[in-house]
Structure 1
């Protein structure tokens, strides 16, 4: 859904000698002719649809054949009802009337998320708006209706009704701006942007102040809609008239910040520092993010400060705003094609254990509740992003190739890096955002992308035998990290920012791997929808038959109680003894035995807890490894995993060795603060 505001801006910049009537010469820009005639008099169809729509032949409701797609055709009409959302299906319903007066119910799927308000739904498809429906299909089931799976197939050509346009035609620019303000206050940001554009177009040469105010307000409307590229364009048009208009400077800089163009934003504000406190604060914020996007050590300083503040205070402080930093990684094809791995994320420099590898802010984030609802809402927000921004469209398309099975297509890293645009290249990298996206959006592809590329961890539910969804989150660059049960990075979530830390030394050119699920489960492989070829899984397959009884015991314990509390009469010492016997007879290397001990960490944990409490008789010396040995196994083969931190903490209690536990957490106050955060659900 779009309205061609760029054309409005062009007309606002045009010389006032340009004719505004129907008598324009053949040399007059046709785009501007349309705008001029739209201002003066409503037309039967005063819209200017996209290239995808303009290339289609017109259709009429009366000529649509039931259950047959009108290929190559477009239905133009006016919305004559207040749009409403069906909560169960998240469809938007409204009524369309074509030029012949025929009417049909319009059902638009995936147009808004389930948390959209009634006002937001009506503002997105306002009564009186002119729309174009691409390749409609008429259904006959309890009446006639057109159902659209893809909201991109409905273009809102004008958010203002014919009556509004006719009334606005006789208004002065200042009065038009007041009308735009009313629409803005009502939350009708698209209609407000259109009204402001009309105001800017009507300004005469001596009305420069009115033009600046109209374009600046239009920029604010676009910002509210998340259309940051268009916000930059509108604010730039205002600044072309008055280069020191502070509100336009601020709005443009804020839009650039949201587009991750930090250096451009800093330069823009540098000449007006000391004039306004909000501008100074925004400049400082942009400077900090610009440094963070290139220097990952500056982010680590903020993380350490966060932990220190937490360890010293009673309440958890807010995690600081951080920039995306992908300077140490790149997307490449995986060399080992025998494992059926397409693309992966690789280190471009040597990274030491414990160092920060990358940071990423979420592209979509839905908290808790039903996983299907969260996935659907995240997908709808992705779809909306793609229709608003050409850059977001390209980013999502790069992820979508995973869902399409085309994992050999390697995107350029410039697509994900900050400061991707400058004043010099802006016209080439920024286009009429929605139009580019409209040409190729596939709803199915976007939904598959969210399903494949998102994280959806669970946590303890309302009772001990249930779990609940914590969130569904999608991060762009981290989506390229492949699964590995013995990964070299671990994930930490701070708000909606995800940070990856090295769990061991990583060499330049080495692929990053992260365990998608809890690493310490012997039935872990059944939770994956692919065959993992890591060392841990290969050892498990080798010992499947020998450890069937032990694995079954572990599964029963896990399913009965997620936190492995000391319940039941299971012969834990017997299971531990059997496990150790199999490892001693079947595996020759101590490293392999340690790997399998890390998999069955809970059996050893419960054994030592029961032993300390006097609930079991100790196994003969030498039959079971010491607690320190088990902690070393977990530290080596499940480092950074959340369940491993629980285990290390409790094993240290059993072994009376807190210092050993702190090795994995970074030591001292950082470890203690991290554990306090975890217990209160912040990690």
Structure 2
């Protein structure tokens, strides 16, 4: 029990295996064994022990409740069946938000990725919105950014590298080190992650005591950890500057080993969302089997100092970055200038002026958006579509909404308004583009179609919006109230 309380689950199992088989200890030993297996994430094995207890010790009334809970974990772990609404509720109320759900590893596997080392690949074809991972953090350091719950602030001083780490990331090093020390069999999942040029010690134990290389852990965390909100839903719906994290705050962070294998690309095909200490990874487009998964390490358009070459040691070679490198600097500068002006425009600026500036911005691209997505234009085009919708001009809202999706690389058929007297047909996505929270754009299109009486198209646009929402937020249980 002491080992269980300190989360030394492997030591607890070892104790159970060496326990005597006296009649007064059998039930207690089985109970401890079920708890230890549950703590190690071995839910199927834990359920077998609990079933044995329910058959042999009918008087133990708590066994049935625990068996039901463990069966839920098995469904989550093996089939990816989650009650996401419950996850959201628990993450909103628990502090720290460490949730009792199982990790699901979907149709993905680790494989070689050329110069980038290893990556994560699909094992079969998947559809947009499909769940690929729902991974519980190996360790999660929660920081209460709202200041409701008082907590100490961890500071780590690395004199050798002349670095100071403050807040969640420093605390995460301690959490990972303790977990590996208490459960040595878990070490391979962490020490095998990318560590840069650091050479770790080659000793795993001395006199039966595990050796934990804390310098290795520090390097792995710096290259593989993720900053995370309490929930992505909370981040996207909070007031003020929505979806933006204040970099002055020392934020929560965690280490998700399987998700760490996903490499960067501005032309991403998956997104991540957070609910408590769970990361949810979903496809943002239809993906063939054997395709490498890619997402943003940093948002495209950020300054070079925040880019991957200065931290992870590589330059992005996606179609967007390759095209930027081939574009004359003066054209890139003009595109950036137009973007700054558009961003600074208030809601009172005329729609015609926005149209004119977007037309000029479009001239800075020399390849079609279907080949090289124009991420810089999307938000401004959606803003324009919203303006037309609010001005009771639904036809223009549809046109600009479809242009916005087209700028992300989408090729869509059947979405334009048909002639009078003809059927509304079916919206067909011939090519998926980059998902930049496009559920907002689909909602504009759905509302505009409804205003025009094209209710069939409105329903289809709402369905595509729900797919994008699920990829962005991690679940669609909250879609109707967003």
Structure 1 536/457 Cα, relative in aligned 2: closer, same or farther at 3 Å? farther
Q: What is the CA distance between 1:380 and its match in structure 2?
A: 0.8
1:276 corresponds to: 60
Other structure's SS at 2:126 match: coil
Structure 1 230/633 Cα, relative in aligned 2: closer, same or farther at 3 Å? same
The answer for unaligned runs of 5 or more in structure 1 is: 1-219, 407-430
Other structure's SS at 1:487 match: coil
Structure 1 550/662 Cα, relative in aligned 2: closer, same or farther at 3 Å? farther
Are residue 402 (structure 1) and residue 198 (structure 2) matched?
no
Alpha carbons 1:387, 1:435 under 8 Å: kept: no
Other structure's SS at 2:363 match: helix
Q: Which of 154, 164, 187 is the aligned partner of 1:393?
A: 187
> Considering only CA atoms, is the larger Rg found in Structure 1 or Structure 2?
1
Other structure's SS at 1:270 match: helix
Q: What is the CA distance between 1:500 and its match in structure 2?
A: 1.4
Structure 1: distance between partners of 2:444 and 2:335 = 22
Alpha carbons 2:137, 2:278 under 8 Å: kept: yes
1:538 corresponds to: 322
Other structure's SS at 1:485 match: coil
Other structure's SS at 1:637 match: coil
Q: What is the CA distance between 1:649 and its match in structure 2?
A: 3.8
Structure 1 590/343 Cα, relative in aligned 2: closer, same or farther at 3 Å? closer
Are residue 353 (structure 1) and residue 132 (structure 2) matched?
no
Q: What is the CA distance between 1:267 and its match in structure 2?
A: 2.4
Q: Which of 335, 342, 353 is the aligned partner of 1:550?
A: 335
Aligned length: 402
1:448 corresponds to: 219
Other structure's SS at 1:491 match: strand
Other structure's SS at 1:386 match: helix
Structure 2: distance between partners of 1:386 and 1:325 = 21
Structure 1: distance between partners of 2:266 and 2:464 = 21
2:355 corresponds to: 573
Q: Give deviations 1:278-311, integer Å, cap 9, x for gaps.
A: 2222222333323433333xx26x44x759x99x
Structure 1 280/357 Cα, relative in aligned 2: closer, same or farther at 3 Å? same
Q: How does 1:61-100 map to 2 (within 5 A)?
A: none
Structure 1: distance between partners of 2:205 and 2:21 = 19
Structure 1: distance between partners of 2:260 and 2:6 = 26
Are residue 492 (structure 1) and residue 273 (structure 2) matched?
yes
Are residue 474 (structure 1) and residue 268 (structure 2) matched?
no
The answer for unaligned runs of 5 or more in structure 2 is: 146-152, 154-164, 230-234, 310-314, 411-431, 452-456
1:19 corresponds to: none
Other structure's SS at 1:271 match: helix
Q: How does 1:209-220 map to 2 (within 5 A)?
A: 220=1
Other structure's SS at 2:285 match: coil
Structure 2: distance between partners of 1:608 and 1:264 = 54
Tell me the C-alpha RMSD between the 2 structures. Answer: 4.2
Structure 2: distance between partners of 1:575 and 1:537 = 23
Q: Which of 458, 483, 490 is the aligned partner of 2:264?
A: 483
Q: What is the CA distance between 1:233 and its match in structure 2?
A: 2.1
Other structure's SS at 1:608 match: helix
1:375 corresponds to: 169
Other structure's SS at 2:464 match: helix
Structure 1: distance between partners of 2:218 and 2:287 = 34
Q: Which of 375, 379, 387 is the aligned partner of 1:602?
A: 379
Structure 1 327/578 Cα, relative in aligned 2: closer, same or farther at 3 Å? closer
Using the size of structure 1 for normalisation, the TM-score is 0.51
Q: What is the CA distance between 1:347 and its match in structure 2?
A: 1.8
Q: Give deviations 1:150-205, integer Å, cap 9, x for gaps.
A: xxxxxxxxxxxxxxxxxxxxxxxxxxxxxxxxxxxxxxxxxxxxxxxxxxxxxxxx
Structure 1 613/644 Cα, relative in aligned 2: closer, same or farther at 3 Å? closer
Alpha carbons 1:387, 1:437 under 8 Å: kept: yes
Q: Give deviations 1:623-645, integer Å, cap 9, x for gaps.
A: x9632231354463322x4x433
> Which of structures 1 and 2 has the larger relative contact order (alpha carbons within 8 angstroms, sep 6+)?
2
Structure 1 253/567 Cα, relative in aligned 2: closer, same or farther at 3 Å? farther
Alpha carbons 2:34, 2:50 under 8 Å: kept: yes
Structure 2: distance between partners of 1:652 and 1:565 = 25
Are residue 666 (structure 1) and residue 460 (structure 2) matched?
no
